[in-house]
């Protein structure tokens, strides 16, 4: 069962305003602060994903989680969050299709990107895909490449599903 979810994610950031500074209120004129005050700002982002109704989609040991995070960081660390999710989704789909762990899939699918120290965004993408079952497409994408870096006639024989950032993502024909 697939459901499409639009999530409004909020992050609370404290803002300290000093004496003599101004803050804008949405319904009134700017207010001058007469003493140091801390207010709270809610920063939001909206992301639409497809969520499979599973508790944990694919269990990762700590070592295998590091493998996936390092692959995603190497392949899409500089890409958008959506690009990171799509790379993680390819790895997950390959693990499920082959019945293998990510370290084994890395070799057989030749996912060559590798970069240690994954960002929070990469860790979130891996967690959302492997633990929470989030997907950006319900197509079984398995392959991807960056045509700005290399040419791949083989990838182009597969079925193109989506282009995100500088990567093309493919399913089998």
Q: Is 154 helix (H, G, I), strand (E, B) or coil?
A: helix
Q: Is 65 helix (H, G, I), strand (E, B) or coil?
A: helix
What residues contact 30, with CB distance under 8 A and at least 6 apart? 22, 23, 24
Per-residue pLDDT, 68:
98
Average pLDDT estimate for 19-34: 45
- 173 pLDDT exceeds 70? yes
Provide the mean pLDDT of the chain. 79
Q: Is the pTM of this model over 0.75?
A: no
Q: Are 67 and 102 in contact (CB under 8 A)?
A: yes
**In the chain, where are the structural domains located?**
2-48, 54-171
Structure tokens at 67: 């493998």
SS3 content of the chain, % helix, strand, coil (to 5): 30, 30, 40
Per-residue pLDDT, 19:
52
């Amino acid at each position: 069962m697939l459901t499409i979810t639009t999530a409004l994610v909020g992050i609370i950031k404290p803002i300290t305003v000093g004496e003599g500074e101004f803050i804008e209120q949405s319904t009134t004129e700017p207010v001058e602060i007469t003493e140091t005050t801390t207010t709270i700002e809610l920063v939001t982002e909206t992301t639409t994903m497809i969520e499979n109704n599973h508790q944990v989609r694919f269990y990762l040991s700590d070592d295998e989680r590091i493998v996936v995070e390092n692959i995603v960081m190497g392949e899409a660390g500089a890409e958008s969050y959506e690009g990171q999710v799509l790379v993680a989704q390819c790895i997950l789909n390959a693990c499920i299709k082959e019945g293998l762990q990510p370290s084994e899939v890395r070799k057989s699918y030749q996912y060559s990107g590798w970069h240690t120290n994954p960002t929070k965004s990469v860790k979130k993408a891996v967690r959302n895909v492997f633990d929470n079952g989030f997907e950006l497409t319900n197509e079984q994408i398995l392959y991807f490449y960056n045509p700005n870096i290399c040419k791949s006639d083989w990838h182009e024989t597969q079925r193109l599903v989506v282009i995100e950032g500088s990567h093309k993502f493919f399913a089998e024909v």
